[in-house]
């Protein structure tokens, strides 16, 4: 027979393990805090705010989780992957999908392209492009070097010839050089132009390119010349995340000075 005291201890242990969360850890009262806002202790996508002297429970916008007052991307809420907001907590709300969006708010991969992705804001998707030979990295939620992007190792630019040259829009002196499926932006040597037919730098004129009227500048002057951009790479939309640190995607060779 189990002694009564042991039975009671077991019961207490059971209650401690399975009792309501309030017993384990107290929900902080937002009205007792300076910020008047505190995260819910059980759900990372909920928070309490002191409204008219009383705590009220709120949900973060769908897809976001509580980060703290004046933090995150909107209403004190942030993308869940930006920090360990949800460690030891659950999300109360299921995803509300919208076109191209798994949740109303978030950053999501493109259905058919490795160089594009979607940013979703309240269910409205905006297509974003990765420029300069970068690909969208699902894990980092940003553009990244192809070698870091699982499943999209080879850039679509280089599909036809993993080691060939590809014209860059209408550019007469810049082109993509594919190296094992990875594109690198290159520039023809001074006084030569890129020939779209032979896919090589040749002495002008060609069908599309006259003799350059202005000598190319010494710097890797990439952003100039809108109409030279390949359509896929032009018009960097607002809100595109910055390139990865140090990942200037354009290893332009310094031209030899004579
Ligand atoms: C989000 O969209 C819904 C309907 O499309 C709209 O009613 C609501 O006001 C929007 N919310 C915000 C914060 O923009």
Backbone φ and ψ for 80, nearest 5 degrees, come out as: -65, -25
CA of 122 to the centre of ligand 1 (A): 6
Q: What is the pLDDT, as a whole number, of residue 248? A: 36
CA of 258 to the centre of ligand 1 (A): 61
User: Same domain for 82 and 120?
Assistant: no
d(CA 110, CA 130): 11
User: Same domain for 117 and 174?
Assistant: yes
For the chain, list residues with pLDDT below 70.
1-24, 151-154, 212-258
Q: What is the pLDDT, as a whole number, of residue 81? A: 95
pLDDT tens column, 67-79:
999 999 999 999 9
CA of 104 to the centre of ligand 1 (A): 10
Q: What is the pLDDT, as a whole number, of residue 214? A: 58
d(CA 60, CA 92): 10
d(CA 19, CA 211): 81
CA of 121 to the centre of ligand 1 (A): 9
CA of 123 to the centre of ligand 1 (A): 8
CA of 126 to the centre of ligand 1 (A): 16
User: Same domain for 118 and 176?
Assistant: yes
Domain residues for the domain of 74 are 27-93
User: Same domain for 89 and 141?
Assistant: no
pLDDT tens column, 100-138:
999 999 999 887 778 889 999 999 999 999 988 888 998
User: Same domain for 113 and 76?
Assistant: no
CA dihedral 231, 140, 83, 17 (to 10 degrees): 130
CA of 120 to the centre of ligand 1 (A): 12
Quote the Cα angle for 17-18-22, to 5°. Answer: 95
Residue 69 sits in a domain of what CATH number?
Answer: 2.170.140
Assess if residue 7 is contained within a domain.
no
User: Same domain for 86 and 114?
Assistant: no
User: Same domain for 208 and 123?
Assistant: yes
Q: Of 93, 122, 139, which one is at a domain's C-terminal end? A: 93
Assess if residue 68 is contained within a domain.
yes
The total of structural domains in the chain comes to: 2
Q: Which two tokens stand for residue 103?
A: 């949740």
User: Same domain for 60 and 159?
Assistant: no
Assess if residue 115 is contained within a domain.
yes
Pairs from 151-156 (Cβ < 8 Å, separation ≥ 24): 152/114, 153/181, 154/181, 154/182, 155/114, 155/115, 155/181, 155/182, 155/183, 156/113, 156/114, 156/115
Q: What is the pLDDT, as a whole number, of residue 250? A: 36
Q: What is the value of pTM for the model shown?
A: 0.58
CA of 47 to the centre of ligand 1 (A): 20
């Amino acid at each position: 027979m189990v002694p009564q005291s042991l039975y009671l201890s077991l019961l207490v242990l059971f209650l401690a393990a399975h009792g309501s969360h309030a017993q384990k850890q107290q929900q902080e009262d937002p009205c007792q805090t300076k910020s008047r806002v505190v995260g819910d202790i059980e759900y990372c996508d909920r928070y309490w705010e002191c409204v008219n002297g009383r705590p009220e429970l709120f949900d973060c916008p769908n897809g976001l989780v509580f980060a703290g007052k004046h933090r995150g991307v909107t209403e004190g809420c942030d993308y869940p992957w930006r920090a360990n907001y949800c460690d030891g907590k659950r999300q109360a709300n299921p995803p509300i999908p919208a076109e191209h969006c798994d949740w109303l708010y978030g950053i999501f991969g493109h259905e058919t392209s490795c160089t594009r992705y979607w940013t979703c804001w309240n269910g409205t998707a905006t297509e974003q492009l990765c420029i300069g030979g970068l690909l969208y990295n699902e894990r980092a939620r940003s553009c990244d070097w192809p070698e870091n992007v699982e499943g999209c190792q080879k850039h679509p630019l280089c599909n036809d010839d993993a080691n060939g040259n590809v014209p860059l829009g209408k550019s007469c002196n810049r082109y993509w050089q594919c190296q094992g499926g990875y594109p690198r932006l290159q520039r023809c040597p001074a006084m030569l132009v890129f020939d779209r037919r032979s896919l090589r730098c040749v002495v002008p004129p060609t069908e599309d390119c006259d003799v350059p009227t202005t000598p190319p500048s010494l710097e890797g002057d990439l952003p100039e010349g809108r109409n030279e951009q390949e359509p896929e790479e032009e018009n960097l939309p607002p809100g595109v995340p910055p390139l990865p640190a140090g990942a200037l995607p354009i290893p332009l060779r310094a031209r030899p000075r004579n």
